[in-house]
Structure 1
């Protein structure tokens, strides 16, 4: 399993990269929503394209962010039940879930949705609403999002198997970045420690 750990790290890096860029879609959705509201109230006009692009952005946030969410261990878990088991048992349950539920779901979605995306692209399918948008880009988010989710699932499987072999630490610990306050406190503490060392010399 050790040779596969670099692959898991590369997948994690990809999920981290995608997740950070997808976060900007939230800002885009908010700005478009605000602009649409202002135009509708100020000029008594609107466009279905404005409404649909908000739906597209929401789909992008939800689908493209799924792998990042799995990386961060933020998907819904039944911790009330799992917490009663040992860590190794919890990891084995995770492995079972990945193999028997996550991977089959990803394969089924890709199998069923990909032909629809191809058909929508080749036909140039448009929204049925007046002034609506072309449909294939939002359709394409489904297989893309599930591919990213499947890749992250593979990474999580590798890490859990490596944990059972004693190669890495617990991969189920949530990855939390330090807040600005924590970083500031650490910087102040480091500066004070440095001053004390200089004074002692």
Structure 2
């Protein structure tokens, strides 16, 4: 079990770092969107490339941050129903959800996404829009994102089984909600305003 827990910590760390890094894509996307709008209305110039890069960044945010969201237990749930059960029952529900829904879905998508992406890379696929971008980097995000999600699902499964065996505390996979005071302290630390 110690090897599996080490593997789980590695996957968690990897997805935390990727999630933190990809969060900057949102800022870049907003800046590009703003710049594109200003240029379009100020000097009546626009390019499809600017629109497509926004779509690519949104795809990156969505696909690469989904495993980060699962890691932080922030995905959509029916807490009103599940919250009434004991912690052990909730963990069993999670285990069945990972085994019956999450992992089969991510593996099926990977099965189809890898050849789909590979064909795009081989053909050096380019947008059909005038001035558009190459498409294969955006398509490459699909297998990368679902591989990350598969790995995070395995990590979460390991932690839930560890909890049932008594070697992992529930805090290792519970929702990580910061209090308003903790958020203020984090903002101050980030801005060195202490």
Task: Tell me, yes or no, whether TM beats 0.5.
Answer: yes
What are the residue-to-residue correspondences of 1:119-198 with 2, within 5 Å? Answer: 119-170=119-170, 171-176=172-177, 178-181=182-185
SS in 2 for 1:36: helix
SS in 2 for 1:56: helix
Supply the distance in 1 between the matched residues of 2:114 and 2:80 (Cα, whole angstroms): 37
Q: Tell me the equivalent position of 1:68.
A: 68
What are the residue-to-residue correspondences of 1:17-28 with 2, within 5 Å? Answer: 17-28=17-28
Supply the distance in 1 between the matched residues of 2:162 and 2:126 (Cα, whole angstroms): 47
SS in 1 for 2:125: coil
Instruction: Quote the offset at 1:182 in angstroms.
Output: 7.6
- 1:76-113 Cα deviation digits (max 9, x unpaired): 00111101211101100100010111111111001111
Q: Tell me the equivalent position of 1:117.
A: 117
Structure 1 residue 48 and structure 2 residue 48: aligned?
Answer: yes
- 1:135-175 Cα deviation digits (max 9, x unpaired): 10000000000000111111100000000011011033222
Residues 67 and 152 of structure 2 are in contact (CA less than 8 Å); yes or no, is this contact kept in structure 1?
Answer: yes
- RMSD, aligned α-carbons: 1.4
Supply the distance in 1 between the matched residues of 2:23 and 2:80 (Cα, whole angstroms): 30
Cα gap change, 1:182 to 1:31, in 2 (>3 Å): closer
Largest Rg, 1 or 2: 1
Number of aligned residue pairs: give it: 184
Is 123-132 or 172-181 further displaced after alignment?
A: 172-181
- So what's the TM-score if we normalise by structure 2? 0.91
Residues 2 and 162 of structure 1 are in contact (CA less than 8 Å); yes or no, is this contact kept in structure 2?
Answer: no
- So what's the TM-score if we normalise by structure 1? 0.88
Residues 48 and 129 of structure 2 are in contact (CA less than 8 Å); yes or no, is this contact kept in structure 1?
Answer: yes
Q: Identify unmatched segments of 5+ residues in structure 1.
A: 185-201
Supply the distance in 2 between the matched residues of 1:154 and 1:175 (Cα, whole angstroms): 19
Residues 71 and 173 of structure 2 are in contact (CA less than 8 Å); yes or no, is this contact kept in structure 1?
Answer: no
